Structure 1
């Protein structure tokens, strides 16, 4: 549970800082166009903070961390989020500085982060399956 709490706290801090960075960086460069920096804030808060708050509640209810693949879910998902957001940040900074918004390498790297996110989601649902179905299969006491 502490691990999930720390993840929620980290993603909240990163989400808030990324929003501040977006605002100040674009203002400092007199940039008014579209940039990936605009969505790093929401990616961190939604995929990080909100998602792990939900996982925290599910952990309290089902003890998901007892599942064999839980560690794989936790680390794969976190690497996927951080990798994706790091690539988005790099692409956004390049855009604000007047470079081509997407270099081939950065786009492919961002895609790799999204693949890790997908794998993390799949493993999460695998971890969730047994505890959820086990509760439904218990007979009701009369």
Structure 2
């Protein structure tokens, strides 16, 4: 349970930092356009903090972590969210800098982000498999 609450807390801190960095960095460089960096704050709050608070609530009532699949879900989901968030930040900073990207670099950023999304999807599937197995044993 502590691992889940610590994870929610870490995502809260990272989301807050992402929001401050977006606001202050765009102010310093005088950027007022659209950027993926503006979405990072909300994504981290929702997919990180809020999701793991829900997992924590389910853990207290259902003991999700007693299933063998729980660690697979936990690691896969977090890896996906971290990778996706990092690529969202990279894309956002590149947009703010109005960087000219080669097709290869642009495809690389998109591809790595895609891998993060795939990991998130697999993590969600593992989460629901875990949830269904836990409910079936109750």
1:33 is paired with a residue whose SS is coil
Q: What's the TM-score once normalised by structure 2's chain length?
A: 0.94
Name 2:42's counterpart in structure 1.
42
Partner Cα separation in structure 2 for residue 77 and residue 68 of structure 1: 15
Name 2:56's counterpart in structure 1.
56
Name 1:28's counterpart in structure 2.
28
Bigger-Rg structure (1/2):
1
Partner Cα separation in structure 1 for residue 42 and residue 20 of structure 2: 12
Partner Cα separation in structure 1 for residue 25 and residue 130 of structure 2: 40
- 1:108 aligns with one of 107, 111, 115: 111
Q: Deviation of residue 99 (structure 1)?
A: 1.0
Q: Do structure 1's residue 80 and structure 2's residue 80 form an aligned pair?
A: yes
Residue-pair matches, total: 135
Partner Cα separation in structure 2 for residue 100 and residue 117 of structure 1: 29
Partner Cα separation in structure 2 for residue 69 and residue 16 of structure 1: 31
Unaligned runs of 5+ in 1: 136-142
Kindly report structure 1 stretches of 4+ aligned residues shifted beyond 3 Å.
none
- 1:122 aligns with one of 102, 125, 130: 125
Partner Cα separation in structure 1 for residue 2 and residue 34 of structure 2: 38
Partner Cα separation in structure 2 for residue 127 and residue 133 of structure 1: 10
The CA RMSD over aligned residues, in Å, is 1.2
CA deviation digits over 1:25-62, x for unaligned, max 9? 11111111100000000110000000000000000111
Q: What's the TM-score once normalised by structure 1's chain length?
A: 0.92
Higher relative contact order (CA 8 A, sep 6+): 2
Partner Cα separation in structure 2 for residue 121 and residue 73 of structure 1: 7
Unaligned runs of 5+ in 2: none
Partner Cα separation in structure 2 for residue 114 and residue 100 of structure 1: 25
